[in-house]
Amino acid sequence: MRVLSKDFFNLRSLGPIIALLVVLVILPSIIPRFYIYILAVIFMTALLAMSLNMVVGHGGLFQFHHGAFYGVGAYTAALMLTKTSLPMWLGFVAGPFMAAFVGLLIGMFCVRLTKLYFGMLQISLGSLVWAIAFRWYSFTGGDDGIHGIPLPSLISSTKGAYYFGLILLILCVTVIYLIFKSPFGATLQAIRDNPERCEAIGINVRRHQLIAIVIATFFAGVAGVLFVVVEGSVFPDLLFWVFSLELFIMCLLGGWFTFAGPILGAAIMISLRTFVGIYTEYWTLILGIILILLIFFLPEGVWGYLLEKFGFQRKKLLEKEPDP
Amino acid sequence: MESGYTITFAALGSQFLVGLSRAMILFIVSSGMSLVLGVLRVPNVAHGSLYMIGAFAAFSISSLFGGGSTGFWLALVFAPLVVALISFVAERSLFRHLYEREHLMLLLFTFALMLILGDLVKMFWGADYRSIMAPEMFQGAVPIFGSPFPKYNLFLLGVGPLVAVLLWLFITKTKIGKISRAAAVDMEMVGAIGINVSWVFAFAFVLGCLLAGLGGALVSPTVSITLGMDHDIIMEAFLIVAIGGLGNMWGALVGSLIFGLTQSFGVLFWPQFAIVFPYAAVVIVLTWRPKGILKSVW
């Protein structure tokens, strides 16, 4: 068992969490608009990283192209808002469902394979989705994307988007936590730790993995809708595989065997990108160096390191897995 | 077809040759990836970047010598060596310390390498489009099936099988090649009989990267050399080794042929979405044989 924060919402952590939420609710009235926007981006990315970690950290699957589903969610919402006259909320609801549907389609192929095969096939199939969004000018706007998406006035301001993002993040993280603690979540983690044994005691490993992928891609779609709300536009970079691997780094940076690690990872990464990006155009170079430093010095991530350091659980996190 | 032209035998024939010459480039690049995958069991995400560096290095070397025939041949020899040197340095300085760790860490390291190399290329060569002329003997076209076919592509059709045969001789007949194959099957056993596995890995990694560089140098006269050419090739190489059987060199050849041909015929039928055809082929192959057409080495 490598998951540290079995009791993320225990009595001890309840105080700090409530305090953090109060601060986040009050913050927009104090800080300038730019920072509100950055925080909204962090909420969105944190949700996305949390959804990715459902399959990567809890499920042990090499979900290498999570961004594809995020992009599908965002594009679905954007297309429905701009090209149809259906009610707006329908677009917001359709995004996640479409993402989950694409997740099901791609997942069906991927779960037939394991580990690296899984990851490579997913990168490839996800890239097909990217290629379609990138080239289908008449429908998706090609590499220009879609801009000026009409939004309900309640959430079209930066502050509105901020609160919308905060509420969605809290809701989704709560649901992800409930899934994580449910029998299904426990089974998923058992499959991650020992798929052969799970298979032997009669668990349908593939089906559980597929369900996990569908749930995770649903939340990725929610994050995609949130992107539309925050940015008011979509473009094919959302579905690009490099971004997906960046998400992977966020989970690693935060600590993927912890529950809340990806939120921290996303926050650190977005802040770095924003403030380092001001000084240099070579952001990916810096990202690469950060990743190498992480691999060598902090493989269990920041949150995992802190948890270990301050004695919540002394077990070594990243043991070399025994060969099957 | 909407455009009103009919698909003639000549068009099919010339597209077949175009696809075949494309497949040769794909084979050279993906056989390198397959080699690394077979021995180290890691998909080298930086493979595409090394291919890009191969192309840029070929540009620099060839323009250093005036851009003529001499420049081209020198570029063809030295650009892959530059790439091999880069990969050797990266492997010995950092990568080798990760061999005892989880495979995911190796993969993420190659991703970090991709990010770093991508930006270094941007620093050195900038974001402009570059191009190289093929040497004079390969300029122009010859009529085949009644339509002109570039001579340079004929050259590629010769180079591809040559590389395949050399690679085959190398990994089946030489000692180091045999050790690499043994390491791909059972690394611990190879270590147990007193062979330095770390150097075997280094050898396989550098040879694989050299092939990426060679692919980049070979493709450089036919495309515009630019940032971002790494992304397309890495996807294609991933798919090719996946449908061919991971780590299997002949699988890489079969995969490249499937990929190159579906792509070039796709252009004929549906130009805007030609990219869909190879992917569709991949889906079909992997539904039929989830582990690839030929046997995976591990």
For the stretch B69-101, pLDDT in tens is 888 888 889 999 999 999 999 989 888 888 878
What's the average model confidence in pLDDT over A217-231? 91
pLDDT tens digits, A79-128: 888 887 777 788 888 889 999 999 999 898 888 877 777 888 888 888 88
Q: How remote is the C-alpha of B280 from its chain's centroid? A: 21
Between B112, B116, B279, which is nearest A128 by CB? B279
Rounded-to-integer distance, Cα A196 and Cα B139, Å? 58
What is the band of A9 on the pLDDT scale with cuts at 50, 70, 90? low
Question: Does the pLDDT value for residue A31 go beyond 80?
Answer: yes
Mean pLDDT of chain A: 83
For chain B, the average pLDDT equals: 85
Per-residue pLDDT, B116: 92
Mean pLDDT along residues B151-164: 88
Picking from A240, A245, A318, the nearest residue to B102 by CB comes out as A318
In angstroms, the CA B236 to CA B144 distance is 28
Q: How does residue A72 score in pLDDT terms, banded at 50, 70 and 90? A: very high
Does the structure show a pLDDT above 90 at A141?
Answer: no
Given A62, A245, A285, which is nearest B111 (Cβ)? A245
Q: Does A316 touch chain B (CB under 8 A)?
A: no
Closest Cα of chain A to B101: distance in Å?
6
Contacts of A151 (CB under 8 A, 6+ apart): A81, A88, A228, A229, A232
pLDDT digits (tens, 9 = 90+) for B107-143: 889 989 999 999 999 988 888 888 888 877 788 778 8
State which residue of chain A sits closest to B244, comparing Cα positions: A117
Place of tokens 């805007």: B272
In this prediction, residue A2 carries a pLDDT of 45
pLDDT at B52 over 90: yes
pLDDT at A102: 93
pLDDT at B4: 44
Nearest-by-CA chain A residue for B277: A128
- Asked whether A81 and A43 are in contact (CB, 8 A), the reply is no
Q: In terms of CA atoms, which chain A residue is nearest residue B109?
A: A292
Q: Where are the domains of chain A?
A: 11-240
Contact B116 A289 (CB under 8 A): yes
Q: Which of B41, B121, B235 should be substituted to probe chain A, the one whose Cβ sees the most A Cβ atoms within 10 Å? A: B235
pLDDT of residue B98: 83
Nearest to A163 by CA among A306, A28, A314, A281: A28
Query: DSSP letter string over B187-219?
Result: HHHHHHTT--HHHHHHHHHHHHHHHHHHHHHHH
pLDDT tier, A316 (very low <50, low <70, confident <90, very high otherwise)? very low
Of A109, A288, A291, the CB nearest to B286: A109
- The verdict on a CB contact (< 8 Å) between A299 and B111 is no
Query: Tokens 């995958």, residue?
Result: B37
pLDDT band at A3; cut points 50, 70, 90: very low
Q: What is the pLDDT of residue B207?
A: 92
B chain contacts of residue A128, beta-carbon cutoff 8 Å? 275-276, 279
Question: Is the pLDDT reported for residue A324 higher than 50?
Answer: no
Which residue from B102, B107, B287 is facing A320, i.e. has the nearest CB? Answer: B102
For chain B, what percent of residues have pLDDT higher than 70?
96
Cβ-based interface (< 8 Å): residues of B facing A: 41-43, 45, 94, 97-98, 100-105, 107-109, 111-116, 118-120, 122-123, 231, 235, 238-239, 241-242, 246, 272-273, 275-276, 279, 282-283, 286-287, 290-291
More confident residue, B119 or B187: B119
Task: Report the pLDDT value the prediction gives residue B298, as an integer from 0 to 100.
Answer: 52
In the prediction, which pLDDT does B3 show?
46
What's the mean pLDDT in A244-254? 87
Question: What's the token pair of residue B42?
Answer: 């890691």
What's the pLDDT at B131?
82
Q: Is the dihedral of CA B278, B283, B289, B290 positive or negative?
A: positive
Smallest Cα distance from A204 to chain B, Å:
19
Q: Do B238 and A132 touch (CB under 8 A)?
A: no
A contact test, residue of B44, B116, B296 with most A CBs within 10 A = B116
Question: Residue A224: what pLDDT?
Answer: 92
**Contact across the interface for A321 and B102, Cβ inside 8 Å:** yes
